[in-house]
Every structure is written in C-alpha cells, then in structure tokens.
Chains A and B, each alone.
Chain A
Amino acid sequence: MATHTPPRRSEQEPDDQQDLAEPVDDQADTAEDGNLPRAPWSQVGPEFIKEWGYSGGKFEPEHMEILGPTGSGKTFFEATVLQQRVKARESGVVFFATKPADSTIMKLGWPIVTDWKGVEHNRQVIFWPKTSLLGTRRREYMAAKIEEVLGRLWVKDSGNIVAFDEIATVEGFSTDLKEMIKMYWREARSQGITIVAMKQRPQGVQRDMHSEASWVVSFKPKDEDDANRYAEILGGKKQWKPLLMSLDRQAHEFIIKHEKTGEAVISQVDTPLRPSKPRRGTYGR
C-alpha cells in the first residue's frame, strides 16, 4: 500500500507519541521499527480495493476480520469497504445483520430481507431475520434462518461476499451454526466466498477466524487485555501494542494489515457513506 504524509495528530496525544506522526520512509511500511505510515482512507481505499481479493491480478477471495470495541467505527468501516467493493467490482454481498436497528447499515441503501427469497432476488442485500420470540426459541429461530442462507450460498464458484456484524453473536445462536461458520472460515475461499466479519472481543472467537483472515483491521482496543490480544493477532505484542494504543479513538483511526505481504498502515475513514441503488435480479444457480 502507498504511504503518505500523515495528517496532524490530536493535541490530546501524549508527546512521546509524536514520533509516529512524523512522515516515514516509503520502505518502512511495517511495524518492525515501531512506525506506521498514516493516510486517510480516501487515499488508501482505492489501492486497497484494487488489491483486496485480487492478489496476483486474478480473483482470489481474501477474508477480512475487523476488531474493535463498541463505538470504535467498525460498522462504518465495514459498510464503507463493502460499498466501495460493490461500486468497483459489482460484487454480490449478503450482509447478515443481527443487532437491533443499525443506522449505519441502513446507509448502504441495500434492501433488507428476512428470508431466502429476498436474498435470491437481490445482488446486494441485508439479511435481517426478525422475530418476537425470546430466549432459547429466539436463538433457535435465528440460527435456523442464518443456517439456511449460508447453506444456500455454499455453491461452487459462489462469488459472494458474506459479511457479518458481530460474529460472536452469530456463533452463539447454536453449536450447529458455529460449526458452519468454522467451515466457512476454513473452506469458503475454495468455494469463491469472501468473509468479512467484525469482532468486539477476540476472546471466544474461533481461531480459524484469526488464522484464515488475510486482512486484519484493528481499531483502538478498549483496555489492556484487548490490546494484548489484538496485538497478538496482528503479529506480536511488542511491535503492535504501542501502535494500537497510539490510535486516535475519537478520529476512529485503525490499523489495516495485509497478512500476505505484511504491509500495514494507519488510516481513518474520511468519506461519507452514500447509499447505492439496489440492483435486482435472480441469482439462483
């Protein structure tokens, strides 16, 4: 990824963090020397979209995991990259929403459906099963609905992007669903499926998520424990923890790292999320 002169840091940042704001050499695009370049997403994004899923110039699904506490900006980032991917490559996306009304997701402008028929007829869609059931029955209902859609997306050369809001919530609906998601992490690439998933706390999430994701995006951790875990996922506490703690939470800064190349950059989304026109059709085999 290209490196650029980073924007001015917040005045609230401690002085000993100022070094990271200095422009860095183009070659220093990893955390080995404790520095990472900073650039706004308006500059990083186009290059990211060019690389994501197209290593070597040909289509090859690359999963992405997005880490960060509540309110860090994960959803906005996820929606932004999905929107940009769709705009650039006309991707088919099924976004599994499980949280109560999320205005950020609504900004995608995609149709919201509650069963498979809606998924079948819309290239980009938000799958949002709703029920008045509570407790165990609600979990069983949600699990059944999500399992059905995931099962129907599991076809050879699927070409779909499967996105989740909070992956731990989805896994918690049932053990069968957790197993299915595990299968997805391990084998979806061979089916031509790309996974994008968010996670508030790394603990309790299947290790397959961390080992299979080619892109790791991390917002500023909530506390010391999370910082340790996020840093381990990125590649090591010593290198990454200081960088994670240096992120500007108010500016919704994040680190994005490409596991294959080791390249990383600190960025922030500086573009508004604009709804796209829904595209209808029939996407059954």
Chain B
Amino acid sequence: MNVLLDKDEAVEITYPEIADVEDIQAEPEPEDLPKDPEPKRKPSKTPRQSRTRVTAAVKKDVEAKIAMMVGLPAAMLTPYDPICFGALTDVTPELAKALTDLAVQSPDLVAWFTSSGKFMTWFSIAMILQPVAVAAYKHHVTHELGEHANEGLPDGYAYAAPPI
C-alpha cells in the first residue's frame, strides 16, 4: 500500500497497489453515455471543519483541564497565602464547572482545549512561569525581596505572608 502525504496539506492518502499492467486485460470500451454532472463538494476552509462536537466526554475533558488550570496554581500558592489561595482552592470544583459551561459555548475554545498538545503546552509554560510570578509579586508588590525589601515601611506593615 503506497502512503502519500498530500503536498498541499499533511493529509494521509493511501493508494492501494494496482496489479501489474499484464494482469489487467483490455476490456471493451463502454457505450458512449452522457457523463454525470461534475461533482461538487464544499471547500475545506470553513468554520465547520474546526468545530468539535460537545459530547459529555468532551465537556468532562474541558472541565478537568480548567480545574487543573485553576486548582494547581491555587494549591501551590496556598502555603504563601492560605487565606486567599485556600479560598480559591475550595471553590475550584464549582468554578471549573461554571467556567466549562461558558467555554463550551465557543467552538474555538472547545477546539483549543481538545486539540492535542496545545492546552498542555500552554499549561506547562504557565507552571514554569509560576515561580517567576511569585518572585515578581514579592519583589514589586510586597517588597519582601530585593535590596529595598520593606524599606520605608513601618514595622509590621509588610504583607504578612510566610517566607519561601
């Protein structure tokens, strides 16, 4: 079986191997009949192609990913701010459900969540940057880090978050 990749797009087309020419005996030509109308087919580039059907399985998948997006960072940051991020962790399941109901109304969002690799790639990037975000917060917002940490601030004014 010959497998070719269409030169325009990465579409796999399989051509069955055709027997040797000698095996194909000449057949009488068919009577000259009117040809069928030229076949028409809708072009590829329409929004319909990217639409993923929102089945129960798809909705569950999207909900799990949203829950991971919200819940994992919340859990990681809870030690630094148990009040705020603890509250976020508590509401994560319900929040994920509500956000899923919104997300599935957009075919583009559904496609983004369910397309292989894209969601996890971006999620990995977010996890990598998470310590950077924490550092930036401590450096520029709470001034717990850096050479001017707590400078000019009255004693006890600094945000009482436990150190790293």
Determine, out of A11-19, A27-35, A119-127, A257-265, the stretch whose residues face the partner at the interface: A119-127
Q: Which residues of chain B come closer than 8 Å to A284, judged between CB atoms?
A: 40-44
| A90 x B16 contact (CB < 8 A) | no
- Is A159 engaged at the interface, CB distance under 8 Å to the other chain? yes
Interchain nearest-CB distance for B3 vs A (Å): 9
A46 CA / B27 CA spacing, docked (Å)? 13
Q: Are B37 and A50 in contact (CB under 8 A)?
A: no
**B-facing residues in A85-125 (Cβ within 8 Å):** 85, 87-92, 106-123
Known: A89-B33, A144-B53, A148-B49. A159 touches B11 (CB 8 A): no
CA distance A108 to B14 in the complex (A): 13
| Contact indicator per residue, chain A 141-172, by CB within 8 Å of chain B (1) or not (0) | 00110001001110111111100000000000
Partner of B39, one of A116, A156, A160: A160
Q: Contact between B24 and A160 (Cβ–Cβ < 8 Å)? A: no
CA distance A8 to B18 in the complex (A): 34
Residues of A within 8 A of B30 (CB): 46, 49, 84, 87-88
Q: Does B55 contact A (CB under 8 A)?
A: yes
A83 smallest CB distance to B (angstroms): 11
The residue among B30, B37, B38, B42 with the most chain A CB atoms within 10 A of its own CB is B42
A277: B residues at CB distance < 8 A: 18
Secondary structure at the B interface, as helix, strand, loop or mixed, is loop
The residue from A49, A88, A136, A283 contacting B41, defined by CB atoms under 8 A apart:
A283
Q: Contact between A49 and B33 (Cβ–Cβ < 8 Å)?
A: yes
Query: Whole-angstrom distance between the alpha carbons of A123 and B6 in the complex?
Result: 15
Smallest CB–CB gap between B115 and chain A, Å?
Answer: 14
Q: Contact: A159 with B36, CB < 8 Å?
A: yes
Roughly how many angstroms separate A152 CA and B42 CA in the complex, as a whole number? 5
Residues in B18-54 with C-beta less than 8 Å from chain A: 18-19, 24, 27, 30-31, 33-44, 48-49, 52-53
Q: For B102, list chain A residues within 8 Å (CB).
A: none
Question: Of all chain A residues, which has the CB nearest B39?
Answer: A92
Most chain A Cβ neighbours within 10 Å, of B15, B36, B52: B36
Q: Contact between B48 and A91 (Cβ–Cβ < 8 Å)?
A: no
Please report which residues of chain B, range 35-84, place their CB below 8 angstroms from some CB of chain A when the two chains form the complex: 35-44, 48-49, 52-53, 55, 57
Are B37 and A117 within 8 A (Cβ)? no
Instruction: Give the CA-CA distance A49 to B33 in the complex, in Å.
Output: 9
Q: Does B164 have its Cβ within 8 Å of any Cβ on chain A? A: no
Cβ < 8 Å to B, chain A residues 254-285: 274-275, 277-278, 283-285
CB distance from A24 to the nearest CB of B (A): 26
A121 lies within 8 A of B6 (CB): yes
Interchain CA distance A212-B117 in the complex, whole Å: 45
Select from chain A the residue with minimum beta-carbon distance to B29: A87
- Residue among A106, A107, A116 having the largest count of chain B Cβ atoms under 10 Å: A116
Q: Which of A92, A107, A151 contacts B36 (CB 8 A)?
A: A92
Known A46-B31, A111-B13, A275-B24; 9 more pairs at CB < 8 Å = A59-B34, A89-B34, A89-B36, A112-B14, A116-B44, A121-B11, A153-B41, A160-B39, A275-B16
B residues at A contact (CB < 8 Å): 6, 8-9, 11-16, 18-19, 24, 27, 30-31, 33-44, 48-49, 52-53, 55, 57
8 closest A-B pairs by CB? A92-B39, A159-B37, A284-B43, A152-B42, A117-B11, A112-B14, A88-B30, A91-B36
